[in-house]
Amino acid sequence: MRIYRAKDYEEMSRRAAGIVSAQIIMKPDCVLGLATGSTPVGLYKQLIEWYRNGDLDFSGVRTVNLDEYKGISRENDPAGNTHLPDGMEPDSEKECRRYEELIRSMGSVDLQLLGIGHNGHIGFNEPSDVFDKQVHCVNLTQSTIEANKRFFASAEDVPKQAYTMGIQTIMRSKKILIMANGEGKADIVRDS
Ligand code: F6R
C-alpha cells in the first residue's frame, strides 16, 4: 500500500487525477471503477479539464459504478461504455446478479476509485465483522441516511436501500485508489 499526503483538497484531487490519467494512458481500453460522493468531485473536474484540452481520451475506457440508490432513476442515459446498477429495478436479487455478472464479464477492474464514510463504510458496505461479498442490496443505516441527506432536499427523500458492490467485488480490482480529505475523516483514516 502506498500513502500519498496532499496539502489540501485541490492537490489531492490533482494527484488522484494524475493516477487515473496514467492508467488511461498506459491502457486506453481499461476498466475504471467509479465512486460518487463529494470526495472525487475535484478529481472528476480535473479529468474533464484534461479531456477538454485534448490531453486525455476516454473513447476506449469502460466504467462501472460502485453503487446506486434503489429507486433512483438515471438523469441521463449513460453512454454504452458506462455501467451502474439499475436503481429502478425492483427485483433486488435479479439486479444484483445482473450487475455482478456484468462486472465479471468486463474482466478485472483496472483501477477502482473509492471514498470512505466517516464510520469507515466503503461503497454502501457498513463496518462489520462479516461482509456480503458480491453485489447486494443494502438497507441504509440511519447514520448513512443522515450523512447523505446533503445530496437530497431532505432526509425523507434519501432512498432507504441501495445496490452496492460487495467487498470481494471491490477487492478483485487490480488497483484501488481510496481518497479521504478533511478533518472529519482523520479518525477513520488513522484507524483504518
Ligand atoms: C461512493 C460511496 C460512499 C462515499 C462515502 C464518502 O460511491 O458509495 O461510500 O464514498 O460515503 O462520501 P463523501 O465523499 O461524500 O464524503
Task: Judge if the beta carbon of residue 121 lies within 6 A of ligand 1.
Answer: yes
- Name beta bridge partners: 31: 62
The confidence score (pLDDT) of residue 77 equals: 65
Task: Judge if the beta carbon of residue 124 lies within 6 A of ligand 1.
Answer: yes
The confidence score (pLDDT) of residue 78 equals: 66
pLDDT digit string, tens, across residues 8-17: 999 999 999 9
Highest mean pLDDT among 67-76, 96-105, 139-148: 96-105
The confidence score (pLDDT) of residue 89 equals: 94
Percent of the chain's residues with pLDDT above 90 = 86
* Across 12-38, average pLDDT: 98
**Where does the pLDDT of residue 36 fall: very low under 50, low under 70, confident under 90, or very high at 90 and above?**
very high
Asked if 103 and 85 count as a contact pair (C-beta separation under 8 A), the reply is no
pTM: 0.95
* Strand, coil or helix: 92: helix
Asked if 176 and 170 count as a contact pair (C-beta separation under 8 A), the reply is yes
Q: Which of 77, 37, 80 is nearest to 60 (CA)?
A: 80
Rg (CA), the chain: 16
Please confirm, yes or no, whether 126 is among the known catalytic residues: yes
Please confirm, yes or no, whether 121 is among the known catalytic residues: yes
79 CB neighbour count, 10 Å cutoff: 9
The confidence score (pLDDT) of residue 192 equals: 85
CA–centroid distance, 169 to ligand 1, in Å, is 17
Task: Judge if the beta carbon of residue 181 lies within 6 A of ligand 1.
Answer: no
DSSP summary character for residue 71 = T
Per-residue pLDDT for 76 more than 90?
no
Q: Which numbered atom of ligand 1 lies nearest the CA of 65? A: 7
The confidence score (pLDDT) of residue 171 equals: 97
Q: Rounded mean pLDDT of the chain?
A: 95
* Strand, coil or helix: 96: helix
Catalytic residue among 95, 121, 132, 136: 121
Asked if 1 and 34 count as a contact pair (C-beta separation under 8 A), the reply is no
Per-residue pLDDT for 128 more than 80?
yes
Widest CA span in the chain: 46
Least confident of 16-25, 70-79, 167-176: 70-79
Specify the higher pLDDT residue, 119 or 23: 23
Pocket-testing residue among 12, 121, 136, 140, ligand 1, by greatest number of atoms within 8 A of Cβ = 121
Question: 159-184: b or e for each residue (b if 16 or more CB lie within 10 Å)?
Answer: eeebbbbbbebbebbeeebbbbbeee
DSSP summary character for residue 53 = T
pLDDT digit string, tens, across residues 137-146: 999 989 889 9
Q: In what order do the strands lie in the sheet with 175-178?
A: 82-83, 62-65, 31-34, 111-114, 175-178
